[in-house]
Amino acid sequence: MTSGTLNITAGDGVCSHEIAWEVTGRRRDPYVLLADPNCERGTGRFIPEIDKED
């Protein structure tokens, strides 16, 4: 990989299809595990909707 481009070479050397790809990751750092208001404390699991005070 260079300059943000991933090059995949086809086994037959002829294919020129374009593909889409995605990289995902799981954060396990102290901020996410203990302090991020959008994450469950201790697990780091993302909470999509947080109850807010009126």
pLDDT for the residue numbered 50:
67
pLDDT for the residue numbered 15:
82
pLDDT for the residue numbered 7:
77
Q: Do 36 and 28 meet the contact criterion of CB atoms below 8 Å apart?
A: no
Q: Which residue has the tokens 């780091």?
A: 44
Q: Kindly indicate the confidence band of residue 5, based on its pLDDT and cuts at 50, 70 and 90.
A: confident
- pLDDT tens-digit map of 22-54: 888 888 888 888 888 888 888 888 887 867 777
Helix (H, G, I), strand (E, B) or coil at 9: coil
Q: Do 34 and 41 meet the contact criterion of CB atoms below 8 Å apart?
A: yes
Distance CA 17, CA 31 (A): 41
